[in-house]
Structure 1
Amino acid sequence: MERRTAIKNVLFAAAGIITLPAWGNSWNSHSLQITNSVFNANQVQTLEILVDSLIPSSSILGAKDLEISIFVDKMITDCYEKSEQNNFITGLENAAKLANETYRKDLILCDKTQRNDLLIKLSTSNDSQQKDFFTLLKSLTVLAYTTSEYVLTKHYNYVMAPGHYYGCVNV
């Protein structure tokens, strides 16, 4: 091995070790704020309603309380291709249109049972695009909810580093 290559590798490793903690600590709720969403205000509102209908609040916090719609928005905006983003936007618009056609009122004015019926209609639809939209919405919502800090610490009793290290113990 050449000495220059070895020195270069050691310097890169040292730089990585120094910057890694700062990079990991910069992940907080402020860094996850939506800066460039692909959704307009009506679509964001529809997304919030559908996510809240999937996991409503009860004696435990629901999806709306944990702001799961922000996670779904961020995932669709940052991690999916343009065609899938457009399909998701179309799905949100179709859900709002379906509420208008079925109940003759906006989705925001629908009560809990009407919203649940709407979700059932989306999940059992013959239209593959609506079914795919519902499947993606549901999977992202469940992913965000089950991996949230609240659920992991309060219900799964997740501990980041379980146990305790006792370094100075007589052998």
Structure 2
Amino acid sequence: MNRRESLKMLMAASGGLLALPAWAGQWHVDDLATHASSFVAAEQAMLAAVVDTILPQGVVVGGLSVGVDKFLQKLFDHCYDATVQANIKTQLAKLEASASAKYGQPFSACAQYEREALLMAFAHSADASEKEFFTLVKAETIRGFSTSREVMTNYLEYKTAPGHYYGCVDVNA
């Protein structure tokens, strides 16, 4: 065995172990906020209002409190192609325009039942792009909420390694 090579490997492993806590820490909603989104501020606010309409703040937790709006921005930017992103942005603008036309105020300022009515109009629309927008945003909002860390651990009681290990147990024969 070559002692120099062994010392080099030992030093590299030690450096890796020192750096481990820096990159293996848990992520939080604040980590998602640093993402440079392709959505402008108005579109981000609209997306947050849509998330709040689909999953409003209830007794315990809502879609905005676990960061589903930030999750959707990152998901749409990284996982969907430009045509889907363009359709989302177009439909958000249409949703804002229909809220202004029907209720005389922006979508985010409308009451919960008014926002629900506007979204249900998109869900039952004859226009395929509006229906696709609603279906995609609703599905991804629910997925983002149900797979968030807070919901998984606190409400769905998800455990990474289920069961418990009992190391030294007397065995009665």
The answer to whether the superposition gives a TM-score over 0.5 is yes
Q: Secondary structure at the match of 1:61?
A: coil
* 8 Å contact from structure 1 (residues 52, 64) kept in 2: yes
CA distance in 1, matches of 2:99, 2:65: 23
- Which is further off, 104-113 or 124-133? 104-113
Q: Structure 2: which amino acid aligns with 1:72?
A: L
TM-score by length of 1: 0.81
CA distance in 1, matches of 2:146, 2:26: 22
- Per the alignment, residue 39 of structure 2 pairs with 39
Q: List gaps (5 residues or longer) in structure 1.
A: 1-10
CA distance in 1, matches of 2:123, 2:104: 21
Structure 1 residues 34 and 131: alpha-carbon distance in aligned structure 2, compared to 1, 3 A threshold: farther
Q: List gaps (5 residues or longer) in structure 2.
A: 1-8
Q: Structure 2: which amino acid aligns with 1:101?
A: A
Q: Secondary structure at the match of 1:25?
A: coil
Number of residue pairs aligned between Structure 1 and Structure 2 = 157
* 8 Å contact from structure 1 (residues 53, 116) kept in 2: yes
CA distance in 1, matches of 2:24, 2:126: 44
CA distance in 1, matches of 2:30, 2:57: 24
- Per the alignment, residue 4 of structure 1 pairs with none
Select the structure of larger CA radius of gyration. 2
Structure 1 residues 97 and 64: alpha-carbon distance in aligned structure 2, compared to 1, 3 A threshold: same
CA distance in 2, matches of 1:104, 1:70: 28
Structure 1 residues 127 and 54: alpha-carbon distance in aligned structure 2, compared to 1, 3 A threshold: same
The alpha-carbon deviation at position 34 of structure 1 amounts to: 3.9
Q: Secondary structure at the match of 2:139?
A: helix
* 8 Å contact from structure 2 (residues 71, 144) kept in 1: yes
The alpha-carbon deviation at position 92 of structure 1 amounts to: 0.8
- Per the alignment, residue 8 of structure 1 pairs with none
* 8 Å contact from structure 1 (residues 122, 131) kept in 2: yes
CA distance in 2, matches of 1:124, 1:24: 45
The alpha-carbon deviation at position 28 of structure 1 amounts to: 4.0
Identical-residue share of aligned pairs (%): 33
Structure 1 residues 28 and 150: alpha-carbon distance in aligned structure 2, compared to 1, 3 A threshold: closer
Q: Structure 1: which amino acid aligns with 2:50?
A: L
After TM superposition, the runs of 4+ consecutive aligned structure 1 residues lying more than 6 A away are none
Alignment RMSD: 2.3
1:139 to 2:139 alignment: yes
